[in-house]
Structure 1
Amino acid sequence: MTLSDYEVERRKLLFAELWHLKKSKESLTIQRSRAKWLQEGDANSRYLHACIKSRRKRNAI
């Protein structure tokens, strides 16, 4: 069973649209995660800043 030229072109267009929608969804997911991170902050930020502070104290003359 072979596809007609019209069916092949239609299939190509549908796959192109599918990939475009998939990339758009990924982009939206990334944007949402960044927005959430900006609102809530990083879970490790307190630990990170404590490490930096103790390192500064150790390195001070």
Structure 2
Amino acid sequence: MPALAEALTGRFTAHHGYLVGMNLNLVDAATAAIADLDARIAQALGPTLTAAVEGSQ
């Protein structure tokens, strides 16, 4: 971390921070959407098919 902080000193502006934050929010939203889809798929498959899918991994 110290080396990263040193490398970014004077080069990482508030605008960069905004862009990083925006992208992290997009990752969080995509992760939440995937979790929601996983739950809906598991519900649609039912317990028997869900167990079969989990057993094949």
Whether TM-score is above 0.5 comes out as: yes
Q: Report the equivalent of 1:37.
A: 42
Q: Extract structure 1 runs of 4+ deviating beyond 6 A.
A: none
One of 11, 17, 30 as aligned partner of 1:12: 17
| TM-score of the aligned structures, taking structure 1 as reference length | 0.58
| TM-score of the aligned structures, taking structure 2 as reference length | 0.62
Q: Which one has more relative contact order, counting CA pairs under 8 Å at least 6 apart?
A: 2
The alignment-based identity, stated in percent, is 7
Equivalent residues, number = 41
Q: In angstroms, what is the RMSD of aligned CA positions?
A: 1.9
Listed as ranges, the gaps of 5+ residues in structure 2 are: 1-9, 53-57
Answer with 1 or 2: which has the greater Rg.
1
